[in-house]
Structure formats: structure tokens, C-alpha cells
């Protein structure tokens, strides 16, 4: 699998961030990102069990690796024959809002082509919904009585940024 070019983010003082397929030894660092980012969700039960390894078993993963800080973000995707389901996309809280999530998502989009990508997220996660819509996703499902409420988004291949 090709490794994407390093994302030069030096202008923002981030150092150089590389987007690459995850390796087995990245699991602990991804778990740290996952737990830290979920703790910022005001709608997420504080006592919930956050077990990324169990939740992402069998999924294809990418990480964002900072030369100094190590893994600062990741994506985890369930690959089906006709569809890629983006199960997780997380960036460490201190590093959010600087283009890292967009770079990881781009790596997933490039590999998924020509298949569409779908995901589900909480309706409370308005920042993420805005992020996905800006990257070509559209809301395809909004169950009226889901508890907790969630929406499904879909990005068809061929969408032009
Ligand atoms: C959503 C997320 C992956 C985007 O990655 P990122 O590196 O922050 O995104 P970028 O810098 O490429 O783009 C910034 C956009 O992300 C969104 N965003 C930024 N911080 C966010 C946060 N804490 N939570 C949710 N979305 C956020 C916003 O839409 C922002 O756009 P804005 O400037 O219009 O507010 C990242 O913010 C994150 O890990 N959030 C927490 C986990 C999450 O909600 N994941 C998605 C659902 S599983």
C-alpha cells in the first residue's frame, strides 16, 4: 500500500506529520488518542468502557505520526465488498483543528476509491458533522427515535473537493 507524502505542517509549528498505514505497535498510542478525544465529548458517558482494540478488530487503520510526538491521530475502517465504513477518525485533542483529520481522511478516501464511504456519528457532534460535510459527505439517514440520536453520512467516489 502506498504511503502518502508527508504533510508538511512546519508552518504551524507542528513539525512534520506523516500519514501511513497503522502497524501493530501503534495500538497503544491509538488507544491514548481515542480515550483522550472521547473524554472531550460532553454527550459521552464518562464511565463508558473505551476499548479501541475490541471495537476495531479486523479493521484497516491509518495513523498520523508526528516526528516528535509519535501517533497523534488515526482512522479505522471496516472494509466491505461494496462500501468502506469509517468506524473511527480521531485526532488528539491538542492537535485538532490543524488539518490532521483532513489529511488522514484523504488517505482513506484515496484507498477507498471507487467505493463509497459511510459513517455514523452522534447528532451532538456538530463539529465533526461540519468537518465531514466539508469533505463531501452528505447526511443519508437520521432515525427519528434513535437513543442516543445519530446520523449516517455518505461520500460517493468522484466527489470533487
Ligand atoms: C473530527 C476530527 C477527526 C477532525 O480532525 P481535525 O484534525 O480536528 O480536523 P481539521 O483540522 O482537518 O478540520 C477542522 C474541522 O474539524 C472539526 N473539529 C475541530 N475540532 C473538533 C472537535 N473537537 N470535535 C469535532 N470536530 C472538530 C470542525 O468542523 C473543524 O472545522 P471548523 O474550523 O469549521 O470548526 C477531530 O476534530 C476529532 O478527533 N474530534 C473528536 C473525535 C470525533 O468527533 N471524531 C469523529 C466522529 S467518530
CATH number at residue 38: 3.40.630.30
Looking at the domain assignment, is residue 2 inside a domain?
no
107 CB near ligand 1 (under 6 Å)? no
What's the CA gap between 83 and 112, in Å, rounded? 8
Check the CA dihedral 3-7-10-14 and report its sign.
negative
Q: Say how many Å lie between the CA of residue 121 and the centre of ligand 1.
A: 12
Range of the domain at 69: 7-155
- Residue ranges of the chain with per-residue pLDDT less than 70: 1-15, 158-161
- 84-91 and 117-122 as β-strands: parallel, antiparallel, unpaired? parallel
Question: Domain tally for the chain?
Answer: 1
Q: For 99-116, how does the pLDDT look when each residue is reduced to its tens digit (9 = 90+)? A: 999 999 999 999 999 999
Ligand 1 atom 43: the closest Cα is on which residue?
90
Q: Write down the pLDDT at residue 45.
A: 78
Looking at the domain assignment, is residue 97 inside a domain?
yes
CA distances from 110 to 31, 58, 107 (A): 25, 20, 5
Looking at the domain assignment, is residue 134 inside a domain?
yes
Q: For 37-58, how does the pLDDT look when each residue is reduced to its tens digit (9 = 90+)? A: 999 988 887 777 778 999 899 9
89 CB near ligand 1 (under 6 Å)? yes
36 CB near ligand 1 (under 6 Å)? no
Amino acid at each position: 500500500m502506498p504511503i502518502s507524502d508527508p504533510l508538511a505542517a512546519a508552518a504551524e509549528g507542528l513539525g512534520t506529520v506523516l500519514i501511513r498505514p497503522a502497524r501493530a505497535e501503534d495500538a497503544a498510542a491509538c488507544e491514548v488518542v481515542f480515550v483522550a478525544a472521547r473524554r472531550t465529548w460532553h454527550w459521552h458517558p464518562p464511565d463508558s468502557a473505551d476499548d479501541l482494540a475490541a471495537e476495531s478488530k479486523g479493521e484497516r487503520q491509518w495513523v498520523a505520526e508526528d516526528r516528535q510526538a509519535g501517533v497523534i491521530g488515526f482512522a479505522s475502517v471496516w472494509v466491505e465488498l461494496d462500501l468502506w465504513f469509517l468506524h473511527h477518525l480521531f485526532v488528539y485533542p491538542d492537535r485538532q483543528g490543524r488539518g490532521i483529520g483532513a489529511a488522514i481522511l484523504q488517505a482513506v478516501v484515496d484507498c477507498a476509491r471507487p467505493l463509497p464511504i459511510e459513517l455514523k456519528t452522534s447528532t451532538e457532534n456538530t463539529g465533526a458533522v461540519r468537518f465531514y460535510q466539508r469533505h463531501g459527505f452528505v447526511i443519508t439517514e437520521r432515525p427519528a427515535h434513535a437513543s442516543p440520536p445519530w446520523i449516517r453520512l455518505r461520500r460517493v467516489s468522484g466527489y470533487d473537493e
